[in-house]
Amino acid sequence: MSDIFSLQGKRALVTGANTGIGQAIALSFAKAGAEVICAGRSSVEETLDLIAEAGGRASGLPLDLSGPVAGNSVFVENAPVDILVNNAGIIRRADSVDFTEADWDDVMNVNLKAVFFLCQAFARTVFQRGGGGKIINIASMLSFQGGIRVPSYTASKSGVAGLTKLLANEWAAKGINVNAIAPGYIATNNTEALRADEGRNKAILDRIPAGRWGDPDDIGGAAVFLASPAAKYVHGAILNVDGGWLAR
């Protein structure tokens, strides 16, 4: 019997694949059999090395999404691509009363505008070959909650959740599954300061029913599921991978 979780024969493009969640997704895809295009604004060499050590296939692609339409030609130049993971994102922190227009625009351009135009460019190539594509967007717990001092991040990730559902409505019947993952508190470089703060770390762990921080691999496994034939009837879902945080 064939493995319904296999990505053998598929090509995936993962943005922000240089570290953290993006790196874990790229590595998980490679282990599941996919050829992975690791896109990033900074070097993805570490990710490529990890994939090579695991016996997988991967290549690097310089991609700076601060220009939201920078990826418009990516899927033509690297065709065919079967799976798109929109993981790249940035965050800016300040009290809302002091938040600047530049910080608003920078975050929205990368986290939402670039996501839409990458999805659009990907879909055009998939439609040309008659369907058979998967899009996985990376949302956030703040797609459902307000958070504090991150207004543009919260707005962008709320937008990602809404955009995921809209594109699923439009494209499900045309051969593209569009879904998203909403990670919880994951142990990455971005959360190192929180984990080092004894008080904040305890407060976070006390709220998580699983009693631990998530590992990047936890997100990688969820992404493999959504990219695989096992999720062929999953459309417009926002999959929470948060140790139960949102259920609390």
Which active-site residues does the annotation give? 153
CA atoms within 13 A on the CB side of 12: 39
Q: How many CB atoms lie within 10 A of CB 64?
A: 14
> Look-up: residue for tokens 């300040």?
94
User: Which residues have CB under 8 Å from 25's CB, separation 6+?
Assistant: 14, 17, 85, 87, 219, 220, 223
- Cβ–Cβ under 8 Å, residues 38 and 48: yes
Q: Which helix (H) or strand (E) holds 240?
A: strand 238-241
CA distances (Å), origin 108, targets 99, 100, 152, 157: 13, 12, 6, 9
- Cβ–Cβ under 8 Å, residues 81 and 225: no
